[in-house]
């Protein structure tokens, strides 16, 4: 296994108290595999990713427990310098807002080339050649002329391509893409997503695709992990989950996707608000919003039940959920 997260706990210490952002997350990614991590904002999906990358702001963040195995090393036990060498070379991250994530005062060529200068010890001239190659590879037109341009001179889609090029630069074995297309126009979203999927296949990388958009996931992901209140509530191969979700929350998310064959009907939305991480409800965190909630849901935290060999669900009533259509 390329990456394995085991029982990860992350907290944030804020003025108003301790926010439990991640409460025992388990997931794994194999080489060449795409795992989609799905959830509302506040579900802990980005925090988990930042913990894997080692870019969590600490303080206020604090990793309370768990292990992150990457190529059989526990990242949380490595020295800061060892972790730094892994970042960029062996794992890389693509952020949501490319405009603010790229340095406004450095040219894109400098920012791309920096990877080679720092990690490979290349000269600036060689690094620039590499930067142009990368820009060609993510299909930025006239790369040679534009290598000296600054981020604000590119369109949103082109900027996100540059972010992708930067992540791919040293051919890492794991890429974490945090909502890579959310900030883009719908027409550009598909192009960028296709590019990402294509490069992933070519380089046989593991990809963690963080998103709140189920529609994006269907085409590119192999497996899905659904997160709620800092926990995994369901994991499944991608096609099964669309056919028959095993958790009421997943079900609600699927029903909230607009569909052509349901034109004219009112769009469904999961009722209620995401939980307050300072006061996570006892028992199953989803119970206040769950249409199937029973007394047991208010008291007992559901474990990850085994649905079948490849599927898990953290619902006391996963069977009923599966059966109910």
Partner 1 sequence: MGRYVIRRLLQMIPVFFGTTLLIFLMVYVMGDPIAGLCGDRQCDPATAAQLRAEFGLDKSVWHQYLSYMGNIFTGDFGTAFNGQKVTELMATAFPITIRLTVVAIVFEIVIGISLGVVTGLRRGRPVDTGVLILTLVVIAVPTFVTGLLLQLLLGVEWGIIKPSVSSEAPLDELIVPGLVLASVSLAYVTRLTRTSIAENARADYVRTAVAKGLPRRRVVVRHLLRNSLIPVVTFIGTDVGALMGGAIVTERIFNIHGVGYQLYQGILRQNSQTVVGFVTVLVLVFLAANLIVDLLYAVLDPRIRYA
Partner 2 sequence: MPEQKPWDETTGSGAISGAGAGGAMDLAVDEGTTLEKTPGGPEGTGPAGKPRSLWSDAWRDLRRNPVFIVSGLIILFLVVISIWPSLIADQDPLNCDLAKAQEGSRPGHPFGFDGQGCDVYTRTVYGARTSVAVGVLSTLGVSLLGGVLGGLAGFFGGGWDAVLSRITDIFFGIPVVLGGLVFLSVVASSTVWPVIGFIVLLGWPQIARIARGSVITVKQNDYVQAARALGASNSRMMLRHIAPNAIAPVIVVATIALGTFISLEATLSYLGVGLKPPAVSWGIDISAASQYVRNAPHMLLWPAGALAVTVLAFIMLGDAVRDALDPKLR
Residue 180: which of partner 1, partner 2, none does it interact with, CB under 5 to 8 A by kind?
A: none
Determine the 3-state secondary structure of 133 from DSSP: helix
**Does 19 help bind partner 2 (rule: CB under 8 A)?**
yes
Tokens of 66: 């768990």
**Does 53 help bind partner 1 (rule: CB under 8 A)?**
yes
- Alpha carbons 277 and 274: distance in angstroms, whole number: 9
**Does 152 help bind partner 2 (rule: CB under 8 A)?**
no
Least Å distance, CB 263 to partner 1, is 39
- The answer for residues whose C-beta is within 8 angstroms of residue 25's C-beta and 6 or more apart is 5, 7, 8, 44, 48, 66, 227, 230, 231, 232
**Does 63 help bind partner 1 (rule: CB under 8 A)?**
no
**Does 47 help bind partner 2 (rule: CB under 8 A)?**
yes
CB nearer to partner 2: give 227 or 284. 227
Rounded to 5 degrees, what angle do the CA atoms 11, 101, 160 make?
Answer: 120
Interface residue with partner 1, options 9, 62, 71, 87 (CB under 8 A): 87
Q: For the chain, what is the largest distance between any 2 Cα atoms, rounded to a whole number of angstroms?
A: 67
Interface residue with partner 2, options 2, 3, 5, 21 (CB under 8 A): 21
Based on the number of CB atoms within 10 Å of its own CB, is 26 exposed (0-12), middle (13-18) or buried (19 or more)?
Answer: middle
Residue 118: which of partner 2, partner 1, none does it interact with, CB under 5 to 8 A by kind?
A: partner 1
Least Å distance, CB 12 to partner 2, is 5
Beta strands in the chain (DSSP E): 3-14, 17-29, 34-38, 61-70, 73-74, 91-94, 174-178, 206-211, 223-228, 231-237, 305-308, 311-313
**Does 54 help bind partner 2 (rule: CB under 8 A)?**
no
**Does 238 help bind partner 1 (rule: CB under 8 A)?**
no
Residues that bind partner 2 (CB under 8 A): 12, 14-16, 19, 21, 41-44, 46-47, 60-61, 273, 276-279
- Footprint of partner 1 on this chain (CB under 8 A)? 53, 55, 57, 84-89, 92-93, 95, 97, 100-107, 114-115, 118-119, 150, 152-153, 166
């Amino acid at each position: 296994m390329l990456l394995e997260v085991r029982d990860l706990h992350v907290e944030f210490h804020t003025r108003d108290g301790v926010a439990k952002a991640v409460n025992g997350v388990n997931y794994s990614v194999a080489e060449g595999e795409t795992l989609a991590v799905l959830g509302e904002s506040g579900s802990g999906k980005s925090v988990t990713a930042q913990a894997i990358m080692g870019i969590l702001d600490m303080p206020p963040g604090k990793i309370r427990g768990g292990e992150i195995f990457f190529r059989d090393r526990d990242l949380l036990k490595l020295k800061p310098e060892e972790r730094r060498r892994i970042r960029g070379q062996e794992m890389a991250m693509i952020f949501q807002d490319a405009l603010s994530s790229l340095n406004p005062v450095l040219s894109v060529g400098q920012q791309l080339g920096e990877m080679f200068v720092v990690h490979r010890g290349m000269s600036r001239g060689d690094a620039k050649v590499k930067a142009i190659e990368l820009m060609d590879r993510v299909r930025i037109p006239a790369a040679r002329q534009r290598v000296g341009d600054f981020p604000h001179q590119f369109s949103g889609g082109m900027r996100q391509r540059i972010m992708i090029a930067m992540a791919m630069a040293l051919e890492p074995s794991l890429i974490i893409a945090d909502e890579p297309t959310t900030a883009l126009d719908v027409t550009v979203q598909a192009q960028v997503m296709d590019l990402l999927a294509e490069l992933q296949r070519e380089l046989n990388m593991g990809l963690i695709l963080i998103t709140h958009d189920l529609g994006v996931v269907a085409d590119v992901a192999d497996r899905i992990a659904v997160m709620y209140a800092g926990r995994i509530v369901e994991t499944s191969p991608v096609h099964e989950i669309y056919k028959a979700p095993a958790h009421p929350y997943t079900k609600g998310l699927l029903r909230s996707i607009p569909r052509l064959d349901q034109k004219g009907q009112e769009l469904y939305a999961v009722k209620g608000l995401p939980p307050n991480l300072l006061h996570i409800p006892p028992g199953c965190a989803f119970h206040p919003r769950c249409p199937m909630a029973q007394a047991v849901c208010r008291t007992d935290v559901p474990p990850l039940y085994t649905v079948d060999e490849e599927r898990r669900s953290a619902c006391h009533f996963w069977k009923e959920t599966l059966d109910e259509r």
